[in-house]
Amino acid sequence: MDLKISRTLSIPSSELKWNFSRSSGPGGQHVNTTDSRVELSWSVFDSRALSAWQRQRLIDKLGGKLNRGVLTIASSQERSQWRNRIDAQERLIEIVQAAFAPDSPVRKQTKPTRGSVKRRLTSKANRSSTKALRRRPPMD
């Protein structure tokens, strides 16, 4: 079954690689016998589901999370392998959707108004004079 990212993008299940291992954490004796930890790997470089633009966008946005072009997600939160598989798939979907989300607009810097600058300087002068009155008078 393909992993649906959006209406236009889905990752074929043949491109997803699963690795299972023993998990640490809760589970008692059960955790020592069950391979419940899940690693989901997806090669962004080799994916046929991506266009050139999509591939470049993912490489730019996920640069720190990619290892030789492969995005790997590990999940060992749950006690069962099945729930960890679902968790890893959901996290992969969230990461890819976040990479394709539009960039937030850059904030346009504004200049403080003349009135706000005047109020700030007046306030500073008042504070300075208040502190000056607290000082010991000079000895002449």
Tokens of 53: 């633009």
Helix (H) or strand (E) holding 40: strand 37-43
Q: Is residue 112 part of a domain?
A: no
pTM: 0.67
Instruction: Judge whether 125 lies within some domain.
Output: no
Domain that holds residue 11: 3-100
Residues 53-109 have pLDDT tens digits of 988 988 888 888 888 888 899 988 887 888 999 999 999 999 989 988 888 899 999
Residues 71, 43: Cα–Cα separation, whole Å: 6
Query: Which comes out higher in pLDDT, residue 95 or 123?
Result: 123
Mean pLDDT of the residues in the chain: 86
Task: Note whether 34 and 27 are within 8 A (CB).
Answer: yes
State how far the Cα of 116 lies from the Cα of 29, in Å rounded to an integer. 67
Q: Does residue 128 fall inside a structural domain?
A: no
| Cα angle 49, 20, 73; round to 5 | 45
Q: Which CATH number covers residue 32?
A: 3.30.160.20
